Structure 1
Amino acid sequence: MSSRRSVVLVCALGLAVIGAYAWHANRAPQTAKPVAAGLAAPALPAQSGPVAVEVAQVRTVSLANDVSAVGTLVSNESVVLRPEVSGRILAIRFQDGQAVKRGAVLIEFDAAVQRAELQQARAGLSLAESNFTRSEDLFARKFVSQSGLDTARSQLEVARAAVALAQARYERMQIRAPFDGVLGIRNVSPGDFVKDGEALVNLEDIATLKVDFRLPELYLGRIRPGQALEVSSDVVAGETFTARVEAIDPLVDASGRAVLLRASLDNAARKLRPGVFARVRLILEERPSVLVVPEESLVPAPGGVQLVYQVADGKALRTEVRTGMRRGGVVEVVSGLEADALVVTAGQLKLRDGAPVSVVLPAAVAAGRPG
């Protein structure tokens, strides 16, 4: 028992000594290690020479204020041909998709009855003309009274009206093209009996197309008939068509707060078709002298500020600019630069205001080699 108590006492004394040492070590002041002689804090590498940059010249170009929209192509004239009377189709005088002229007979109905009525009316007219001629002769010789002559004249007018009526009924048995155009795909065949008003075939005038599109109401004060616009479509990729605004709807759509415009487009080559989706660029104003720089020359800064580095006397000068429209990879410069000035388009990340620069070719900039 005595030896066990001695071991416990020794362990307790050891723990106490270790705890005292640790408490003393933690309270000791921390001192910085001295910097060895001849050593210094690392420094950023110094600029070894001019910074290689690529530049572009500030250009003066003609630029247009415009607005873009989407629209739909519509036929200049479009109609679905329908008969005015019921009847049986005798003959079809066209091929599907054929171009026809105004007045061409397209469909003929069986008109035997109407033809007979017309012949009967013409015979009655011939008799009425003979009676009137005879009455005039007798009236001149005082053998017929004025009343008899008036009766003959009235019968003549009735006969003429009967011929006109029979002629109209006969002509209604033929479907003619109301304008020059291209026919669609017919829905009937010879021998079919069709009712009045039944759709037979569509006729489209596509030599000229209309472009219907909408713009927000805020453009009302800037649009007018006669303005030019450019039309493009995926149907003819890479090609642009010129059109003119023909009409502006006086009623603004209350639900969408948009105004409907219609333009006219020459389609003599028939590259476009009605119903096609179109992209529209309406030119609101042409500006002949606008300063522009490449988009890649702009360096955004905090607060929405746009900067460029202007090259003058071999140095890069940081210049704040105010920009306008963007079009085709260039940006309008409203203020901050003059025409023909040089701006940095590649290598801006390595520049600071007043840094010496060396203008190089694009390949040299990519490789980091000065010119």
Structure 2
Amino acid sequence: MKRNSLIAVAALVLVAAGAYAFMSGSSEGENGSSVVASVKTDGSGAAQAAAPAATEGKKRPPPVEVAKARTSEASIQLESVGTLASDESVAIAAEVVGRISSINFKEGEPVKADSVLVTLDNLLSSADLAFADANLKLAESNFERATTLSKTGAGTARNRDEAQAALDTARAAYELARVRRDKTEIRAPFDGIVGLRAISVGAYAQVGQTLVNLEKIDTLKLDFRLPEINLRDVKVGQTVDIVVDAYPDRKFQGEVYAIDPLVDANGRALKIRARLANPNGELRPGLFARVRLIGASRGQVVIIPEGAIVPRGTDTVVFTVTDGKAKESKVRLGRRADGEVEILEGLAADATVVTAGQARVKNGQPVEIVQPQQPS
């Protein structure tokens, strides 16, 4: 009877051990542990149930890639977009009417200041000048005669005054005719490059009609805008970095030389103008430009790769690694540029930050540092 009771107890122990093993995941559970149950009999044949033994395996820490934070001299950098413009630009136009007799330039070629670009027919203007010249000579002769007669008493002062007025009128008429004749030669006001002409020899030019554009592009202007909040950050003489789509891998530099005294009331923006050298004519007026204005130094700042940033609602955190464990740190960001970001608060200058694998990491958790994967 007693022996049967012991056997029943042993059976119950085995059932309990089996249930424990099942609940604990005896066959490679979540934590990799195993449970072994055994029954022993004592000298009297009584069965003894061994307590379940569990050995917990070790889980591999999550792998992460890291980078070392660095410090750098930071300056105020403001970004905008703008448009390149000629240093000087003018639409060459006729100032007198006339038929075009010659075109003395090649489109797209450089010309010198005061060189004749277009000549208008000057037959009429030359005739007008000759007529005015004859009238001037007659007026000069009449004035000399009136002056002589006035001195001898044979003439009156009034006759001399009338002769003087006629002489002045003749001189003005002659000068007007000379200017009109000279205006038939249309000249370049400065060194530059002529554009594409919209005229032909034999065409009749009207006053004010544009014949060709002249652009001075060995130096270019850059017009751009910044929000009014940046007024104190912008000064004449500051350097601007310029990138254009035509040369995406190149960076050009210019210098701010003028700031409009008026703030645009509609856009609440400052109008700024910079100048940049263009000796080889690589850049052209009208190009769209991305602008970065480099201002005063802000001292040393901590810089980390942008991939280390982890959003947490309205906050931003980074994971650092110390003694093999991850630590979550709340940070305040500064300027972003070229795949890096400034850290204004919350991170030591010599910190090691996690740049990949943050999704598997918790605060205080051990991590395994691995080398970044090389792109295939």
State the TM-score, normalizing by the size of structure 1: 0.74
Displacement of 1:193 in angstroms is 1.8
Partner of 2:209: 198
Residue among 173, 182, 185 paired with 2:193: 182
Cα deviations across residues 137-191 of structure 1 (Å, max 9, x unaligned)? 8888999887776666555544433332221111121211122221111111111
CA distance in 2, matches of 1:253, 1:273: 30
Partner of 1:343: 353
Partner of 1:283: 294
CA RMSD, 1 decimal:
3.6
Partner of 1:238: 249
Q: Please say if residues 76 and 233 of structure 2, whose CA atoms lie closer than 8 Å, have aligned partners that are also in contact.
A: no
Cα deviations across residues 23-48 of structure 1 (Å, max 9, x unaligned)? xxxxxxxxxx8450772333435546
CA distance in 2, matches of 1:285, 1:324: 16
Note closer, same or farther for the CA distance 1:324–1:135 as it changes in structure 2 (3 Å cut).
Answer: same
CA distance in 2, matches of 1:314, 1:279: 43
Cα deviations across residues 205-250 of structure 1 (Å, max 9, x unaligned)? 2223232333344444544444432222212222222232523261
CA distance in 1, matches of 2:248, 2:333: 31
Note closer, same or farther for the CA distance 1:216–1:101 as it changes in structure 2 (3 Å cut).
Answer: same
Alignment of 1:321-360 (within 5 A): 321-349=331-359, 351-354=361-364, 359-360=369-370
Q: Please say if residues 210 and 265 of structure 1, whose CA atoms lie closer than 8 Å, have aligned partners that are also in contact.
A: yes
Q: What's the % identity of the aligned pairs?
A: 41
Unaligned runs of at least 5 residues, structure 2: 1-14, 33-56
Give 3-state SS (helix, strand or coil) of 2:177's partner.
helix
Displacement of 1:327 in angstroms is 1.6
Partner of 1:250: 262
Residue identity matched to 1:338: A
For the pair 1:362 / 2:376, whether they are aligned, the reply is: no
Q: Mean alpha-carbon deviation: is it higher for 324-333 or for 283-292? A: 283-292
CA distance in 2, matches of 1:134, 1:289: 89
Q: How many residues align?
A: 331
Displacement of 1:304 in angstroms is 1.9
Q: Mean alpha-carbon deviation: is it higher for 313-322 or for 173-182? A: 313-322
Residue identity matched to 1:214: R
Q: Mean alpha-carbon deviation: is it higher for 349-358 or for 235-244? A: 349-358
Residue among 31, 39, 48 paired with 1:44: 31
Partner of 2:315: 304
Displacement of 1:306 in angstroms is 0.6
Note closer, same or farther for the CA distance 1:118–1:289 as it changes in structure 2 (3 Å cut).
Answer: same
CA distance in 2, matches of 1:321, 1:216: 26
Residue among 194, 201, 220 paired with 1:209: 220
Unaligned runs of at least 5 residues, structure 1: 1-32, 367-371
Displacement of 1:279 in angstroms is 1.9
- Larger RCO (CA within 8 A; separation ≥ 6): 1
State the TM-score, normalizing by the size of structure 2: 0.73
Partner of 2:306: 295
Note closer, same or farther for the CA distance 1:150–1:348 as it changes in structure 2 (3 Å cut).
Answer: same
Displacement of 1:109 in angstroms is 0.9
Residue identity matched to 1:248: D
Displacement of 1:104 in angstroms is 1.4
Partner of 2:279: 268
